[in-house]
Structure 1
Amino acid sequence: MKRIYFSMILIIAGYSSFNAQVGINNNAPLSTLDITAKNPTGTTTNVDGILVPRVDRQRAQSMSSVPVSTMIYVNSISTGTQAGTAANIEAPGYYYYDGASWIKLNPAINIYNSDGSLNGARTVTTGGNFLNFVNGTSNAGITTSATEGRLSANGSARGSLSLAGGTSTLDAYADNANVAQINSSGNSTKLSIGTTNATPLTLKTNGTERMALISNGNVGIGTVAPNTALELTSGTANTSGLRFTTLTSASPIGAGQALGVDSSGNLVTVANPSPTNVNISSVNSTTGANFNVNDLAATIVSGTSQSITVPTGGKALFINFMLGVDYTNNPAGGGQAYYEARLYIDGAATDCYMRIQEVGTAANAAFTISTIKFLTAGNHTLDVRMQRTFNNSTTSGANMICTPRSMSFNASYLN
């Protein structure tokens, strides 16, 4: 066999000396060495190809004075070290010598120590695994599941996300044991937070929604379903929940219109109250004329009849009547009677009266009536009338002569 190999070498060498090109399995080589497959087609199991020298890493590392472009196949890296000319030999494969070290043919790009450029879109399928970038105790990661995709940034002091467009920046961050913030900066003209469909925007604290901006623009505080442009619900009966801390009952009164609430709780303007005027109509006398009182009908106490005019918007009418009289005779009738003083308005008896038992001739009696009435606007007549009652069930028609000792009758109303 050695003689046969030697003969083949001599034949190739002799041929090359005449042609300067060598062809294997062909008579017209197209390059310095042109190898044609013995079986370029078909289903034969014979092996075609070139076997380059196979060495382990230690052998490649030990070579010296290696010509540039020398090619080998490293079949094992269990020997030698990844250093010197073998610095790039990190896995079995084809290597060529570039004059300084062995370079792997078509090496897999390692993003951890090599830069590169994408020439198209790439998809990384994590299969539910967390893709994490760690720098000490800080990390940024991407995780996915069948229902969730999450981007996280975790640091011992701060986790943050920063987005920039030119010099416009949006930062969101959470500080350890401190505030969490969302800020815009740079040349941003507005920070707009909201929805682009017919759904509400809400703010919550302690897990409960406290404030809502719904799709029609209504704002609710304490309610997430406001029915007006601004609706406050304090959660406490008879308390609005609206407070002006620098405008209190001690603040000076200024010009403007008063505010109130309607039956639905809506804030409305109300008429400013007019200053209250007190109008008094009164009779005061200690020399009034005598008058007769009997049991047949009520007699007007002399001097008490008076007319008042209640204006539009008039309020309560306050009435006060005081009368002191002397009984000057002893009319027939069988037994002591009672005397009644009653208020009349526009000739009609009211429910305001006082009764005192008859005490005999030369005795005196005192009557006091006080009440509040509400009258319609216009003119009204007021008077006090007296009548003898409970005359032992006997109607005599006899008069008791009454002499006024003092009398005061006031009718005052607020306007």
Structure 2
Amino acid sequence: MKRVSFSLLFLLTHFAFTTAQTGINTPSPSSTLDISAKNSTGTSTDTEGLLVPRVDRQRAQNMTTVPVSTLIYVNNITTGTLTGTAARIDSAGYYYFDGTVWTKLVTSLNIYNSDGILSDPRTVTTNGNLLSFINGVNNVKLGTSATEASLSANGSSRGWLNLAGGSANLDYYVNNTGVGQLVSFGTSTQLSIGSTNASPLALKTNGTDRITILSNGNTGVGTSTPNTKLEISSGTANISGTKLTNLTSLSPISTGQTLGVDSAGNVITVANPAPASVTTASVNITTGASFNVNDTTVIMVPGTSQTVAIPTGGKALFINFMLGIDYGSNPAGSGASYYEARLYLDGAATDCYMRTQEYGPGGFSAQFSFNTVKFLAAGNHTIDVRMTRTFNNGVASGTNMLCIPISMSFNATYLN
């Protein structure tokens, strides 16, 4: 019996070497090793299949001089480490040796019904075909648990990202000239840029914030802490930083109010002054009533008394007086006396007056004139001019000098 078994084994081995094909459970192998199930159909409970060597990760990691394509089954990953030839052995399963590391035999995954994990970076080349992700119910999302998440759309000349809601569109793109743009179009009714919390909105160039809008609406140009609805900081003392290109000193003046700056630098409007009007109380005559002047009394020059109504707030009154007279008599000792004409306001003498001396013995004429400005409070005021002889110089006291007016002009004027 032993001799028969040996002979059969020798015969099988000889057959395998001469034919280069071996069959198990098949008389006609179709490959180098052809294994057929003993019961390929039916209800038999016998176990069919091929058992490959089962090892833990540490055993696989310690193997040396492993031929390419060697197949094993790793049944335990609590031993060994994810290093060296075991760098990819992260779970139990079938592994083959690719010449460098043990690589998992991964069954084909269908992303439509199965989840999976990429073990290495992958590139999908669409070969000019459009790749679309369409969800008829929910959103399509791209997410990552990493610190940085990025979405890139790169082109040799342009990069473009389009967001569409119906026929309203928003484009982020870089055009052929390298200009980055954010544009809404289609049926879009508004392009809003900003925040929905209390954080500010900043626009920057060259890495520096240039325009800042705070959560309260204050806008700063050149400042990140504006205190008003619009605050401009030029960064240079005495330079506003504001320029109106089409409005210069040569522009015609039209209706509107003047712009000014208050002590805090705020731009304010300054009410335009009302057109000036002139209110004048005056008397201009070439003939008038004669009057007598002496040293014992002060007499009002006839025709000079006027009432002036000053409006609320008061006014500066511009007063001009001119009087030419002939002396109509020649009292004993006259010819060197002094005569004075003085302005009176509301019956009180002012500091505005003029004195003249007769022009030698028998002097027959004289001129008096003065100009002044007096501020008067609101209300009615009277003004007049009064005369007296201030130095007799030989004329007996109380002696009258007849004064005959030649011409007189007395004006009191203020601007409204």
Task: Provide TM-score, normalisation by structure 1.
Answer: 0.56
* Residues 283 and 108 of structure 1: CA distance in aligned 2, closer, same or farther (over 3 Å): same
- Where does 1:287-366 land on structure 2 (aligned, <5 Å)? 287-295=287-295, 298-312=298-312, 315-328=315-328, 336=336, 338-360=338-360, 361-366=362-367
Structure 2 CA distance for aligned equivalents of residues 278 and 205 of structure 1: 58
Distance 2:315 2:294 in 1: 36
Instruction: Report which stretch shifted further, 336-345 or 259-268.
Output: 259-268
Q: Which residue in the other structure is 1:106 paired with?
A: 105
Distance 1:200 1:300 in 2: 78
**What RMSD in Å do the two structures reach over aligned CA positions?**
5.8
Deviations 1:172-195 (A, max 9, x none): 234465643211234544322112
Cα displacement string for residues 7-45 of structure 1 (whole angstroms, at most 9, x for unaligned residues): 3366899x969xx9779xxxx9936x76779x999xxx9
Q: What is the rounded CA distance, in whole Å, between the counterparts of 1:151 and 1:313 in structure 2?
A: 72
Aligned residues between the structures: 332
- Determine if contact 2:232/2:240 at 8 Å carries over to the other structure: no
Q: 1:381 Cα deviation (Å)?
A: 0.8
Q: Is the 8 A contact 1:296 1:395 kept in 2?
A: no
Residue 376 of structure 2 aligns to a residue whose secondary structure is: coil
Distance change >3 Å, CA 358–CA 252, structure 1 → 2: same
Q: 1:287 to 1:251 in 2, by over 3 A?
A: closer
Q: CA offsets per residue over residues 310-341 of structure 1, 9 Å max, x none?
A: 34477553322111123456678999565443
Alpha-carbon spacing, 1:133–1:175, altered in 2? closer, same or farther (3 Å): farther
- Per-residue deviation, 1:379: 1.9
Q: Which moved more, 1:303-312 or 1:313-322?
A: 313-322
* Alpha carbons 1:332, 1:396 under 8 Å: kept: no
Q: Deviation digits for residues 344-398 of structure 1, max 9, x if unmatched?
A: 2111233433344443332533222233444333321111123444778x99565
Q: Secondary structure at the match of 1:8?
A: helix
Q: Is the 8 A contact 1:337 1:391 kept in 2?
A: yes
* Residues 102-148 of structure 1 deviation map (CA, whole Å, 9 limit, x = unaligned): xx993699xxxx9966944868999xxxx9999xxxxxxxxx9x987
**Is the 2:315–2:377 Cα contact (8 Å) retained in structure 1?**
no
Answering whether residue 399 of structure 2 is matched by residue 408 of structure 1, we say no
Q: CA deviation at 1:220?
A: 4.4
Q: Any idea what SS the aligned residue of 1:193 has? A: coil
Counterpart Cα distance in 1 of 2:180 and 2:192: 18
SS of equivalent to 1:342? strand
Structure 2 CA distance, aligned partners of 1:199 and 1:307?
68
Decide whether the 8 Å contact of 2:307 with 2:382 is kept in 1: yes
SS at match of 1:282: strand
Task: Tell me, in whole angstroms, the C-alpha distance in 1 between the residues paired with 2:210 and 2:351.
Answer: 56
Using the alignment, how far apart are the partners of 2:51 and 2:232 within structure 1?
Answer: 91
Alpha-carbon distance between aligned partners in 2 of 1:337 and 1:274, rounded to the nearest angstrom? 50
Amino acid at match of 1:406: S
For 2:279 and 2:305, the matched residues in 1 are separated by: 17
Q: Which residue of structure 2 lines up, in the alignment, with residue 180 of structure 1? A: 180
Runs of at least 5 residues in structure 2 that lack an aligned partner in the other structure: 16-23, 27-35, 60-66, 72-96, 126-143
Identical pairs, percent: 47
Tell me, in whole angstroms, the C-alpha distance in 2 between the residues paired with 1:318 and 1:180: 69
Q: What is residue 90 of structure 2 aligned with on the other side? A: none
TM-score (norm 2): 0.56
1:166-315 aligned at under 5 Å gives the runs 167-175=167-175, 179-204=179-204, 209-220=209-220, 224-230=224-230, 241=242, 250=252, 253=255, 265=266, 267=268, 277-295=277-295, 298-312=298-312, 315=315
User: 1:106 is matched by which residue type in structure 2?
Assistant: L
Q: 2-side partners of 1:330 and 1:411: how far apart?
A: 34
Preserved contact between residue 310 and residue 375 of structure 1 (Cα < 8 Å): yes
Do 1:335 and 1:391's aligned partners in 2 also have CA atoms closer than 8 Å? no
Q: Deviations over 1:75-121 (max 9, x none)?
A: xxxxxxxxxxxxxxx9559xxxxxxxxxx993699xxxx99669448
Structure 1: stretches of 5+ with no match in the other structure = 46-53, 57-71, 75-89, 94-103, 135-143
